[in-house]
Amino acid sequence: MKNYWLFSSLFLVLLLLSFSACQKEEDKEPSKTDMITAHSWQGEQVLVLGTDVATNPLFSGLLPDITTMTLTFNRNGTYNASYVENGQTIPVSGNWEFRDNETSVFFDLLTTFGLNETLSLKELSADKLQFSTTVNIAGFPGSLPVDVHFVKK
């Protein structure tokens, strides 16, 4: 009788272990590369000192309208972008990469607008992409904080 209980208990433990081993592994969080390259990004707003440049006449004309910009990061380290300036669509392409343990992003598009080529990655999720940097603007003392917001297209 003892052997029966011992074998039954052992069988039950093995059965439970086999079921737990067959459970699907937890889905892994997507990497930052997965998230940034998953789709195109549409420009939403640029904030200088927390103020949207589109609504502040002091900053008008310094940058193109960010809401016309579409940006696509490719897994091979290239990007494609386009924006509208003076009624014309301007295509741009180049190279990008994560830097500083994926806390910043380098892409050469930024020199077109007089910005630093490396931006701090402020937020990256399935539907939001936000960068921050500082810029020097003529007539303003020192560097000004700038946040650039994109949303999933």
User: Within the chain, which residues score under 70 in pLDDT?
Assistant: 1-26, 60-62, 112-114
Residue at 82 is within a domain: yes
Burial 59-86 (b: 16+ CB within 10 A, else e): beeebbebeebbbbbeeeeebebebeee
pLDDT at 18: 55
Residue at 24 is within a domain: no
Domains contained in the chain, number: 1
The Cβ of residue 105 has, within 10 Å, a number of other Cβ atoms equal to 23
Q: What is the pTM of this model?
A: 0.78
Residue at 23 is within a domain: no
Residue at 137 is within a domain: yes
Query: Percent of the chain, pLDDT > 90?
Result: 52
Residue at 14 is within a domain: no
Residue at 91 is within a domain: yes
Residue at 52 is within a domain: yes
Residue at 9 is within a domain: no
Q: Check which CATH number belongs to the domain holding 111 and give it.
A: 2.40.128.280
Question: Structural domain of residue 47, as residue ranges?
Answer: 32-152
pLDDT at 60: 67
pLDDT at 5: 46
pLDDT at 148: 93
Return the structure tokens found at 151.
């949303």
Q: 123 with 147: CB under 8 angstroms?
A: no
Q: 106 with 117: CB under 8 angstroms?
A: yes
